[in-house]
A = this chain, B = another copy of it.
Amino acid sequence: MALSCLTFTSDDSSDKIREREFTIGDLPGVLWSPAAGAERSALVLLAHGGGLHKKAPAMWGRAHRLVTGAGFHAAVIDAPGHGDRPRTAHDEREIAAMYAARDAGEPEAPIIVRYNAHLAERAVPEYRALLDALQQLPDIGPEGPVGFWGLNMGTAIGVPFVAGEPRIAAAVFGLHWPDRLAEDARRIAIPVEFDMQWDDEYIDREAGLALFDAFASPDKSLHVNTGRHQDLPRFEADSAVRFFARHLGQPAVSPA
C-alpha cells in the first residue's frame, strides 16, 4: 500500500460524537471522535466480522462506547470484499463454497479459516496504511497509544496485523479458531483481552482456549460466557472499553 493520504468525505456531529467518513485511496472507512474534544486522545482501531461492514451495529456500538465512555477515537475500514468494496472472483468462489458447505450440512469452519487467512493477507497492509494516515491527523498524532479491537474475522485480521505492528499497545480479540493464527499470536506480548463463548456451535472449547493460550502476553485475560457464537453479552463491550482505558492511559468514565 503506497496510499497514505486520508480524505474526509462526510462530517456529522451528534451532541457527543463526531462521525467522519473517509477514503484512503480506494479504501473506505469511518472515524468516530469526541464531538467536543480538540485535544489529542488515544485511538482504537476496529475490525468488523465476516459478512458485515464498517458501519454494522456492532462497530457503531463499540465506537459509541469508546468515544463517550473513554474519550477515545475509533476507526474502522471495510474489509476486502466487504461493505462498499468489490468482491474478487476469489471472494465469490469462497463465499459460494461456504454456502455450499452449509447447504450440504458439512462443516463451514475449514473454509472460513482458509478464507479469513486470505482476507487477512490483503487487510493487514491496509490497516497499516490506515494507522499511518490517522496518525497524521492533528487530533490523533503519531505518538499516542493505539488499541486494536476485532472479533471473529476481525481477529483473523488483527492477530497477524498486531503481531507485526509495534504501535499497537493493547488488543481485544476472540471468537476464532487457532489454526493459522496461533503462530502469530505467539509473537504478541501486549495486554490482550480475549472473548469466547462456552457453547459456540462453530468453535469448540479446546480451539478457543488454544488460541487464548497461544498469546505470549504476560498480561492477558479470558472472558468466557455461556451461549452460542452470536450470543456474546453486551457487557463484554463495556469490559473491552475499560480494558483499553486501563492500558491506553485514559480513565473510563461511568457507563451511563
Chain A residues with a Cβ under 8 A of chain B:
198, 209, 212-213, 217-226, 233, 235, 239, 242, 246, 253-254
State the Cβ distance, A220 to closest chain B Cβ, in Å: 5
Q: Is the interface of A mostly helix, strand, loop or mixed?
A: mixed
Identical subunits present: 2
Q: Is the CB of B221 within 8 A of A224?
A: yes
Among candidates B213, B221, B246, B254, residue contacting A254 with C-beta atoms closer than 8 Å: B254
How far, in whole Å, are A223 and B225 apart by their CA atoms in the complex?
9
Q: Which residues of B contact A223 (CB under 8 A)?
A: 221-224
Please name the residue on chain B nearest to A199 by beta carbon: B218
Q: Is the CB of A218 within 8 A of B222?
A: no
Q: Is the CB of B224 within 8 A of A222?
A: yes
13 contacts between A and B (CB under 8 A): A198-B220, A209-B209, A212-B224, A217-B226, A218-B226, A219-B226, A220-B225, A220-B226, A221-B225, A222-B222, A222-B225, A235-B246, A239-B239
